[in-house]
Chains A and B, each alone.
Chain A
Amino acid sequence: MEKDSITKDKLMGMARALYGQFQEGIVPYLALPSRTKGNIEYSSKEDVWVYGDQETLRSVKTVRGAKSLLKTVHLVELLIKEHLANNRGSTLREIYYISENWDIAKFPEQAESDRLIEDLEIVTGLHREDFHVRPEEDGAAIFGPLRIREQTRRGDREMHCQEDVGEAGYQIPFNVDSVKFLSHDAKMVLAIETGGMYARLVENGFDDEFDAVLIHLKGQPARSTRRIIRRLNMELNLPVVVFTDGDPWSYRIFASVAYGAIKSAHLSEQLATPSAKFLGVQPADIVKYDLSTDKLTDKDIHALRSELTDPRFDTEYWRGQIQLQLDMKRKAEQQAFAGKGLDYVTKTYLPERLSELGII
């Protein structure tokens, strides 16, 4: 495949650069952008947050750096000689297990091999799918007035995301680019954090009543979920709103949908949906709708404070909401609306918020 040969060339180029460093007597190194909160910056061109120009050098001058480079070349060899040459693939977890045979280059934990795959994406400008590397995590589920066609290994499948699916909705594949949007009657995309609220909205027929494509984020959204949200937004021109719990961790879910994640800022241009709006639960809603609440834990407070220094939240709106929450020391789940009746969220809260946001 053409794409595979580009991938192979890029990986070979990286190996050649290291090889050349040895021959020229340069202590071999890889330069990578620092992946910290302090090194993401707003790209006005794309309206998303990307890495800045702080770099970390990974050089063989230290044992850590040398081991990391050794792991990198092992990984590159695996990708070229196993994945690309044989048209095979592995999951992130499988790569961690494959490294068991790499002796001192073995990964001590999966987080490290995951990070190294991301490093390779950054250095080559490619995606892990190009390396034939798959995530474990489930892609999102979609329910709404949308007809799609998916290319599968067993042929093309066409379906309507209300009529041809069960109550759980259509499960999107890892590689979202195999999905084509055929037609739709939607006016908006509503991304929902928890399964309970997603099921409530399906049960109440919210998708029908408001022409909404419902997407279950399943917590911190997978890349494929963020990618499909972006595509729905860009290709179908649908506004996106995000509905989560009212706590600091949920704000980060919104931020990664809208602005990109710190861990994968190199992919923000493909994954982020800058025009996405935060629907709630806002700290202000807790007061306004008098929701049942829990006390903020120390960890929650710490996370909120940390968000105050996160450039993605450096807006008047977020500073105000976060400060309000710190003052009242309470948080609320989206399902807290159930306390006001099962229809309250679909009949009252969502319509009110959506009109505030100018969606309906």
Chain B
Amino acid sequence: MEIAEELARQQKAISVAEFFEKNRQILGFDSAPRALITCVKEAVDNSLDACEDAGILPDILVQIKRAGEGYQVVVEDNGPGIVPDEMPRVFAKLLYGSRFHALKQSRGQQGIGISAAVLYSQLTSGKPTKVISKITPGRKAHFCDLMINTSQNDPEILAEGDIDWERPRGTRVELEMEGSYIRGRRQSTYGYLKNVSIVNPHARITLVEPDGNTETFERATEAMPKQAYAIPPHPAGIELGELMKLLRYTGKKKLGRFLKETFSSIGAITAQELCSLAELDPERTPQSLGHDESKRLLAAFKQAKVKSPPVDCLSPIGEALVKAGLEKEYSLDFIATITRQVSVFSGNPFLVEIGLGYGGELGKEGRIEILRFANRVPLVYQQGACAVTHAVEGMSWKNYSLAQPTGNGVPVGPVVLLVHVASTNIPFTSESKDAIADMPEILEEIDLGLKDVARKLRRYLSRQSVLSERREKEEIIMKILPRIAKKLSDILEEPEPDISSVVAKVMGNILIKRSFKQENGLTWVTLHVENNSEVIRSFKIHDVLTCEASSVAPVAKAVPIGNGYDYHWKLSLGPGERTNLSYRVRSEGVTFSEPVIEGLGNEVVTGARVI
């Protein structure tokens, strides 16, 4: 036998299950703590996707129990359930799923996740995975004990049957595995679920930890997220091989019609334009195109102006809910959010959402906390390899009032930054889906979003510093000035001086002061008005008198009210300007009340009541 023939006998196909059995790190099962989080993640992703597809507000229970040397993970949802026939393949066959061919935003895509968890479970514990599902309250639940036949990548059913289950509908999966349960840091089951609940504010998630402690992440909204619709592929993202495949297997008889109906964003006119650019007859059958002609068609795709893909394939969280999500899990002083417009990379629509939370109980010293999400799934590992981190590092945060000690890099300050990238096809750096690849279009969108929230932060902070300046001035006014005045009057043995003018000046306020002069049984009354601020102030001053006044200067509007008159003046004073309002009344039986000012805030007025 020739060597080649000898060698040929040793060649055989490898099942995908066997492959992952040997390369578990590719799917995120590389360490004991991580394996457990990955299992929870895959099950919770499935539950959320199922609930959303069915329009049900998710209510998910995650329970981690000790089981011998390892742990048992139980994840239970109130979703639509899975029909008995499908259960084995959904859980115990890799690359089996409904989403791989659909171009729409969803958490899982390849149909690997949960079956990889089942595979890891059986590898490390040797035990089958138990699945219980109920599709309607009228029927009994169905259960399966499943393992994967790795050499075939096919499910093996160890036991199945109908059982009673108290839920009206839903799915429960129980996996046993080696692992280690970690608490108290971001890379933990708790931290992961907390992040899930931030970007899925419509979900209620309950976590029961091994020691029996229960944490509930409540929902912040009763509204379901907008449904994402599947779209046909967009010409901008097509490669030659794929185009040739589509041409060969299409049922359409004519090229023009094929173009119009296979791709999104191509209408009759664009189809016509594409054909003429490629010098192809739209009446030809798609199957008849050769290699060179396909290449010309592809070139035409790049040349023609095809409009962006439709956006309803995406389901953003929305600015209000990003805010609500941050609010419910953090105590913050300020939140800015932005949902960017849909944009496109390689024909894949995507959008970026950012939430920035500031202050509250966040630490001032350390680097800011970055929460990364892809299609509403938290990314916990490999922060340094991710486009989100790179965009954050690439920005000059000093311009936005955050310290950035080395000039670039993750800034320092009491900030939590949430970045969500949603797309029909998130470009991950690896199959374990830890980090988003540095696509220039995505980097740019994140950068623009960051600048937007950072601008809002800067505005907030500068407003805060104005406020703290005011507070500081109030300290002078409330505590110090009256004491200086009191001491001076003690020293000089004189009455305490009137400090209102000084108060108005220090605060930059409008000052109103009344003075009197007696003359032949008449009283001349003057209201001194002074604008100590640095802006023009327009307002009205009312003086309510118990009798009629004469010689009113400047002329005021007098409105009779009850047993007196309301005199009012409309004034506009520039910075530093002052004016006098005067009138004459008889000295007998007149009482004065505090002047009233209208049209200004309480905090900018001294010496009058504000209405």
Contact = CB atoms under 8 A, between A and B. Distances in A.
Interface string A215-237: 00000000000000000000000
Contacts of B505: 25, 27
B476 A19 contact: no
B487 interface: yes
Nearest to A72: B484
Given A60-B484, A69-B484, A26 B502 contact: yes
Contact of B484 (A18, A61, A63): A18
A63 B479 CA distance: 10
A144 interface: no
B485 A22 contact: yes
Contacts of B489: 19
The prevalent SS among residues of A at the interface is helix
Contacts of B404: none
A69 B482 CA distance: 12
A217 to B, nearest CB: 39
B365 interface: no
Interface stretch (B253-261, B433-441, B490-498): B490-498
Contacts of A16: 492
A22 B492 contact: no
Interface in A27-55: 27-28
B437 to A, nearest CB: 52
A105 interface: yes
B484 A73 contact: yes
Contacts of A18: 484, 488
Contact of A70 (B483, B492, B499): B483
B573 interface: no
B472 interface: yes
A12 interface: yes
Given A16-B492, A60-B480, A23 B472 contact: no
Given A22-B497, A22-B502, A25-B501, A77 B491 contact: yes
Contacts of A192: none
B480 A104 contact: yes
A67 interface: yes
A305 interface: no
A253 to B, nearest CB: 39
B58 to A, nearest CB: 53
Nearest to B480: A66
Contacts of B488: 15, 18-19, 22, 73
Interface residues of B, number: 25
Given A19-B494, A22-B488, A80-B491, A105 B506 contact: no
A39 B201 CA distance: 65
A74 interface: yes
A22 B480 contact: no
Task: Give the most central of A19, A21, A69: most B CB within 10 Å.
Answer: A19
Contacts of B472: 62-63
Contacts of B491: 12, 15, 73, 76-77, 80-81
Interface string A1-27: 000000000001001101101111111
Contacts of A70: 480, 483-484, 487
B239 interface: no
Contact of A104 (B479, B497, B499): B479
B324 interface: no
Given A66-B480, A66-B481, A27 B502 contact: yes
B475 interface: yes
A21 B498 CA distance: 10
A350 B377 CA distance: 88
Contacts of B492: 12, 15-16, 19
Given A12-B492, A73-B491, A66 B476 contact: yes
Contact of B502 (A15, A25, A77): A25
Contacts of B473: 63
Task: Give the most central of B483, B491, B501: most A CB within 10 Å.
Answer: B491
Interface in B497-515: 497-499, 501-502, 504-506
B158 to A, nearest CB: 77
Given A63-B480, A70-B484, A105-B483, A19 B497 contact: yes
B490 A63 contact: no
A305 to B, nearest CB: 30
Contacts of B479: 104
A125 B483 CA distance: 26
B68 to A, nearest CB: 64
Interface string B452-489: 00000000000000000000110110011101110111
Nearest to B481: A60
A166 to B, nearest CB: 47
A61 B497 contact: no
Contacts of A80: 491
Interface in A94-122: 104-105
A61 B501 contact: no
Given A61-B506, A63-B475, A77-B491, A28 B480 contact: no
Contacts of A105: 483
Contacts of B475: 63
A81 B493 CA distance: 12
Nearest to B489: A19
A15 B484 CA distance: 10
Nearest to A103: B483
A16 B497 CA distance: 11
A21 B476 CA distance: 16
Interface of B: 472-473, 475-476, 479-481, 483-485, 487-492, 494, 497-499, 501-502, 504-506
Interface of A: 12, 15-16, 18-19, 21-28, 60-63, 66-67, 69-70, 73-74, 76-77, 80-81, 104-105
A-B pairs, 3 with minimum CB distance = A25-B501, A22-B497, A73-B487
13 contacts: A12-B492, A22-B488, A22-B501, A27-B506, A28-B502, A60-B484, A62-B472, A63-B480, A66-B476, A70-B484, A73-B487, A74-B487, A104-B479
Given A22-B501, A24-B501, A104-B480, 5 more contacts: A19-B492, A22-B502, A63-B473, A77-B487, A77-B490
